[in-house]
Amino acid sequence: MLPICLEPDAFPRSVREATVSYYAARTLHFSSLSPGTCALAHALTGDVDEAYRLFRLAAGMDLDDVKDETATGLHTASQGGAYMAATMGLAGVRPDGDTLVVDPALPGTWGAVSLPLRHRGMRLRVRMNHEAVTIRMLSPGTLTVRYAGETTTHRNGAGEKRAVHLCVTRRTAGAPA
């Protein structure tokens, strides 16, 4: 599933779904490495509930001492997987070459998410809830964003802190009804 997580746009949605379904039935998550990767893969196929369950498992690997071994060291790769699942999967913010893709699948229990990011050297603050996404450009440069199938380019001059409002009506995948 790792290739799907690293290059999701290289695979048709049907291939991503079939692959995730195949491995979901066979993965027991005995390794601390699998929950984060699987959470990201599930988020990329729109299975927000399973993505969130696995994200919580990855994030809690040390916090909840799931494997009863935290005293001997942290599972840093699991924490990295949890970070990727949260940012690239559930928040849906990921690079695709020079373009920043924004495709949120927020769990219904998350009211909002705010992420400090760097993309192509530009400092950004991405904030989203179930109705809107805003990207604040904190440094000068050009930002190309793909959101809801539309690609737009935004420029920010020196000393400016431009806000890019991507949506005010689209609900994210896990939004409460």
- Per-10-residue mean pLDDT, the chain, length 177: 90 94 88 89 94 93 83 87 95 95 94 95 93 90 92 86 65 52
pLDDT of residue 122: 92
Between the two ends of the chain, the Cα-to-Cα distance in Å is 31
Both 11 and 86 in one domain: the answer is yes
Both 69 and 86 in one domain: the answer is yes
pLDDT of residue 174: 55
Both 69 and 140 in one domain: the answer is no
Domains of the chain: total? 2
Residues 6+ apart with CB under 8 A from 59: 79, 82, 86
Domain termination residue (choose one: 90, 116, 142): 90
pLDDT of residue 15: 95
pLDDT of residue 89: 96
* pTM score: 0.84
Q: Whole domain around residue 63: which residue ranges?
A: 1-90
Both 78 and 98 in one domain: the answer is no
pLDDT of residue 167: 59
Both 96 and 49 in one domain: the answer is no
What is the rounded CA–CA span in Å between residue 144 and residue 22?
A: 34
